[in-house]
Amino acid sequence: MSEVAPNSATEQQVTKRSGTASAALNAVSSSISEWTPFCLVASYFVFSTCMYMYCSEGLIAVFWFIYMCTNFYIAGATVLEAFMSIMPCREARKIVNQAEEKGWLFPTAHSNLPLLDIIIVAYLPNEKDIIMDRAMYGLEQLDYPKDKIRINILYNTPVSIEPLETELHGLPLKYPHARIIKVPNSTSKADNLNYFFTLDTGSDVIAIYDCDHYPHPNGPRWAAERFMADTEVDIVQGRCIVFNSHDTLLTSMIAVEFDKIYAVSHPGRSAMWGFGLFCGSNGYWRTSLLREMKMDGSMLTEDIDSALRAFSRGCKTVHDLNVTSYELAPTTLGAFWKQRLRWAQGWAQASMRHAKMIYNGVQDPLHEGTKRDFTARFGVLSLLLIREASYYLVTQYTCLVLSFLIVKFPSSGEELGKLIYFQYPVSQWLFIISPQQLGVPGSHALDHQSGQIRVCIEKDDHLVFYHIPILFDIVCNHWTVRACSTDRQIQLVEPDSEEVTYTYFGTFATSCILVLPQSLFENIQGQRKALADWLYVVRTALIPVVFKKTVLLVEAVPRLSFKHRLLIMKSQLLSGPLPSVFSSTSSLSSSRIASQDYLIGLRGILVLQSFLFVFFQAFLPTAVPDSRNKDGPLYQIILRKSFSVVFCNESLIYSWIIFLSARTIALPYLSNTSREVCASSVFRRSVRLWLPTFTAYSIAIAAFTAADNAYITDFLTRTGNVSTETPMRVRNFLVYFNSLFDIFWVNKQFSYQAANKAFPSGTLWIVSVLFQQSYTVYMTMIIVPYTRTSWRVKALLLFVLTAFWVQSWAWYSVTGLLITDAVLNMDLQVKSRTGFKIGKFQVPMWPLYASFILTGVILQFLFISWKPSMRNNEQHGHTSLYTEGMLNEEQDLDQPLARVDNYLFMLGAMLLIETFEMPQRILRSKAFIALGRRSFSVFLVQSIIVYTIGMKLWVFMDGAGVASTVSTLASFAVCASSVAVASEIFYRLVDLPSIAAAKGLWTWMIK
């Protein structure tokens, strides 16, 4: 015995070491298997990039053309699929309407419903935490006769998991319609399903769900009704919705992708090409077909393979938007990588196997009469070859751009743009067309309060449910689709008649024919002009639906589960958010619209600044930024580089005037979106601006043309002022009339118009810009009541970027309109304070706004106080509309131009004012309000006073030997008091009557 023990111990050590070595080898093997795909993909990118570095220009040009053509085709196909998906949506809603009209008595009696097997497939080690929750949900919540449905939990596991398995197998004792099946020797979902297909269950229909799904309670009933309504239907594929979109940015993006795939692409492709697809889950099959076909375990995506095999046999697959189910998206990049790698490999495998359907006929003796027409064949070509090829071409395009950056790195932004997008002439047109066709991906709303898409009790006894977008937005226009929740279904509600839809089709087709040959800028303008005809179409919604006094019928379930509740009351759909700042609220009501008087107070501050500028420009020219008087008294230089940067900056002041005008003129219409209010605002604007301008301009012409203005030239000579010009003399009445007319006619080269040169201080051009941009705002604001909030924000942001690129004042105006819309319709103040979540932290938005101001101020000081020679460099960073070259190398710097630094400063300041009550209270003070109401009067009067009374007084005092500084101070005091008195008189006698006249004329017009 003493000799055996050591040998046994030695054997144990050897066995232990062998087991350790085996485990290490398994770990190494597993690591190699896991990292091999990544290394292969990385090698693919490296090799492709190196290959393009050595390719000839001719080969690269050929690839570029192929890539751009494919991209154009995919973009166009996406648009067509989105159009075609409208009809399935209408059909789904029609069925719901019929059920609702009959008191939710479905067409088929319970006794006639098909016997349904619902299969929940699970791999227990991975899904042990959720399987019981999903099983209980399916057993208790699905609205289907219990004698007609069986819930089959189909699972496999390499090791026993207790007590979970015992609990699962105990469910049939409590729920007779439950069946728990442990599949032996299974290694995949296909093995599990094929094992079930060998069992004779007697069912008519089989539904397949992955374990992470929550089918809508009425999903099985809608699917059954689809089978009963059309006996030729073999497969019904429902819509899958991601319910954990809140978890990460990745899950939010996947949620948007799923909405586009299941709510747009699949239904649209089915309507366009004539065939649908089974997508692996939330799919219903006729039992006889599925038992015969089974799943091919050798395929990585056995679901797609089975769908294509069914189509090859002539089977009919339909997509039903009423059959909804909610599922989990991968929350980590690792899980996402594995999922998409399997999908990519599986689609490639299925494409190679089934591409023969492009030329083969139907291969099924049961469907001999079924013909695969040209449309279906081309659909297969598009799905399996062109679409698949486009993904690889995208990666190749990335490698091509990388090779360009390595071999010939651009030295400027212009070269980079030309390198990436405009390397070859044909790519210009294809690049311009493709974004137009594709539009922008749909947005996805998040339940920031509850942290997940769910129904939950909120304060004031409200129940909030976050649903998913129904349709993909098309060409920045929206079709209103409302969700209507009852105790039966989250439904689609289409508000427009078929006539409206057909009109939209015609409008879109005509627009494509007319617009596509134009440049990108012209194209965007074309879409904007056509927008009025497209107001009622194509709007999608992932939107909070508010329920009042709703009852919860079941107890809470674990955090990861979809907290679905049967909903009793109908509800009204609200608009969905873009990011958290632009989140929609309920419709406008007077109780929610805050007083806008602080905007008038802000105009009051601009009154003071504009007076300082006009006076400084005349009397202290060196103190004004952008002045031609570079040298002068030291105190004026100090003022220019400090105080005047913010408070006496001409470009900043007139930018504020234009921006604030756009912020305010849309208020009446956005507060009351009726046709009468819109028409009244548009009509009265011209009268309201013309009468005061006509009066002030006429006074100025009389003062500087009828009378002698030699004193102005004398004043400018004595002060050495080269920044100010003597007002131009108007020779006769015809010149006067034409110059007055042009104030409301010219749309460019504002500073060169005669009225501006005849008016003292040369600031009358601002009226021209205000008038012109007013109608930009009016035409744009019309879309607000008829479009989805998130897409309206995207479209207007694109508008702003385009206007910036072409150096149009519209990027100021549309930004002002967008802020107005956000304040009235999107709870900007609340969202700015609340901000957004980063992990567990709530980050407010106001630091971002403050950074805008800081950036704008820094840029102002840098290029006014430190490096004036670079002040106008940014003006060249726009496209050249009328000269050659991509950038504007010949910008006329004498014209008033919109600037980035001004824009950032104004945007940040305006957003901070809209966010906090304190600045609003300050701006609502009586003094600022009074000044603001008289702002237009002061603007028109101050220049006349300064150039008459002020300059004459200074010349008189200077002739009397008074010191220049004293003369300037005296002139300032006299001008300030005179402007106060004269502007008040002008306000009472001209400005207020012009407002009354505009209203009276409008009243007379509509009687």
| 530-542 pLDDT, tens digit each | 333 322 222 222 2
How many angstroms separate the CA atoms of 84 and 455, rounded?
31
Asked which of 525, 541, 573 is the last residue of a domain, the reply is 573
| pLDDT over 60 at 118, yes or no | yes
How many angstroms separate the CA atoms of 585 and 789, rounded?
10
Residue position matching structure tokens 């939209």 = 504
Lowest mean pLDDT among 175-184, 352-361, 720-729, 987-996: 352-361
Q: Are strands 214-215 and 149-156 parallel, antiparallel or unpaired?
A: unpaired
Are the C-beta atoms of residues 945 and 977 closer than 8 Å to each other? no
pLDDT digits (tens, 9 = 90+) for 589-611: 333 334 788 999 999 999 999 99
Higher pLDDT, residue 468 or 915: 915
A 10 A CB-CB count for 549 gives 9
| pLDDT over 90 at 940, yes or no | yes
Domain-embedded: residue 413: yes
Verify that 407 and 494 share a domain, yes or no.
no
Question: Taking all residues of the chain, what is their mean pLDDT, rounded to a whole number?
Answer: 77
Among residues 748, 758, 689, which one has the least CA distance to residue 997?
689
Q: Which residues contact 261 (CB under 8 A, 6 or more apart)?
A: none
Among residues 260, 266, 300, which one has the least CA distance to residue 282?
266
| DSSP conformational letter for 477 | B
What band does 7 get if pLDDT is binned at 50, 70 and 90? Answer: low
Verify that 747 and 839 share a domain, yes or no.
yes
Residue position matching structure tokens 């004779």 = 200
Q: Are strands 841-843 and 836-838 parallel, antiparallel or unpaired?
A: antiparallel
Could you give phi then psi for residue 456, rounded to 5 degrees?
Answer: -150, 150
Verify that 118 and 78 share a domain, yes or no.
no
Full residue range of the structural domain in which residue 714 is found: 597-1006
Q: Which of 511-525, 575-589, 664-678, 964-978 has the highest mean pLDDT?
A: 964-978
Domain-embedded: residue 584: no
Identity at 934, one-letter amino acid code: R
What band does 385 get if pLDDT is binned at 50, 70 and 90? Answer: confident
pLDDT (average), residues 45-70:
83
Verify that 276 and 342 share a domain, yes or no.
yes
The enclosing H or E element of 205 equals: strand 205-210
pLDDT (average), residues 547-574:
28
- Residue 151 β-bridge partners: 118, 178
pLDDT score for 213: 92
How many angstroms separate the CA atoms of 496 and 506, rounded?
15
pLDDT score for 423: 59
A 10 A CB-CB count for 989 gives 12
Which ranges of 85-178 does DSSP label H, i.e. alpha helix? 86-101, 124-127, 131-141, 164-169, 171-174
**Crossing angle, helix 810-825 and helix 650-665, to 10 degrees?**
40
How many angstroms separate the CA atoms of 215 and 137, rounded?
9
What band does 364 get if pLDDT is binned at 50, 70 and 90? Answer: low
Verify that 416 and 328 share a domain, yes or no.
no
| pLDDT over 90 at 1007, yes or no | no
| pLDDT over 90 at 432, yes or no | no
- Which CATH number is 273's domain given? 3.90.550.10
pLDDT (average), residues 213-237:
92
Are the C-beta atoms of residues 224 and 231 closer than 8 Å to each other? no
Rounded to two decimals, what is the model's pTM? 0.48
pLDDT score for 631: 87
Q: Which residues contact 217 (CB under 8 A, 6 or more apart)?
A: 141, 142, 143, 564, 566
Chain-centroid distance, C-alpha 471: 14
| pLDDT over 60 at 479, yes or no | no
pLDDT (average), residues 499-515:
44
Verify that 467 and 342 share a domain, yes or no.
no
pLDDT (average), residues 936-960:
93
- Classified as helix, coil or strand, 570 is coil
pLDDT score for 390: 83
Verify that 819 and 896 share a domain, yes or no.
yes
What are the tokens at 711?
A: 């004193």
Radius of gyration of the chain (CA): 35
Above pLDDT 90, what percent of the chain? 33
Verify that 417 and 526 share a domain, yes or no.
no
A 10 A CB-CB count for 10 gives 10
Verify that 623 and 742 share a domain, yes or no.
yes
Verify that 670 and 537 share a domain, yes or no.
no
pLDDT score for 826: 87
Domain-embedded: residue 373: no
| pLDDT over 90 at 272, yes or no | no
pLDDT digits (tens, 9 = 90+) for 389-409: 888 888 888 888 888 778 877
How many angstroms separate the CA atoms of 534 and 540, rounded?
14
Could you give phi then psi for residue 910, rounded to 5 degrees?
Answer: -65, -40
Higher pLDDT, residue 437 or 614: 614
Render 908-926 in DSSP notation, one character per residue. Answer: HHHHHHHH-HHHHHHHTSH
Are the C-beta atoms of residues 663 and 914 closer than 8 Å to each other? no
What band does 78 get if pLDDT is binned at 50, 70 and 90? Answer: confident
Domain-embedded: residue 92: no
Question: Omega before 163 cis (within 30°)?
Answer: yes
pLDDT digits (tens, 9 = 90+) for 758-796: 999 889 989 999 999 999 999 999 988 888 888 889 989
Among residues 207, 151, 211, which one has the least CA distance to residue 179?
151
pLDDT score for 10: 62
Domain-embedded: residue 582: no
What band does 551 get if pLDDT is binned at 50, 70 and 90? Answer: very low
Asked which of 573, 607, 622 is the last residue of a domain, the reply is 573
Are the C-beta atoms of residues 627 and 959 closer than 8 Å to each other? no
| pLDDT over 60 at 677, yes or no | yes
Scored b (16 or more CB within 10 A) or e, 343-365 reads ebebbbbbbebbbebbeeebeee
Are the C-beta atoms of residues 168 and 132 closer than 8 Å to each other? yes
Higher pLDDT, residue 559 or 329: 329
Lowest mean pLDDT among 385-399, 589-603, 836-850, 954-968: 589-603
pLDDT (average), residues 40-61:
84
Among residues 944, 938, 945, which one has the least CA distance to residue 974?
945
Number of domains in the chain: 4
**Crossing angle, helix 846-861 and helix 900-915, to 10 degrees?**
150
Verify that 127 and 259 share a domain, yes or no.
yes
Asked which of 319, 342, 357 is the last residue of a domain, the reply is 357
Residue position matching structure tokens 């469907």 = 367
Lowest mean pLDDT among 345-349, 440-444, 619-623: 440-444
pLDDT score for 465: 25
Higher pLDDT, residue 458 or 623: 623
Lowest mean pLDDT among 378-387, 430-439, 704-713: 430-439
Domain-embedded: residue 101: no
Domain-embedded: residue 678: yes
Q: Which of 300-314, 364-378, 962-976 has the highest mean pLDDT?
A: 962-976
Verify that 50 and 183 share a domain, yes or no.
no
A 10 A CB-CB count for 160 gives 10
Domain-embedded: residue 54: yes
Higher pLDDT, residue 985 or 373: 985
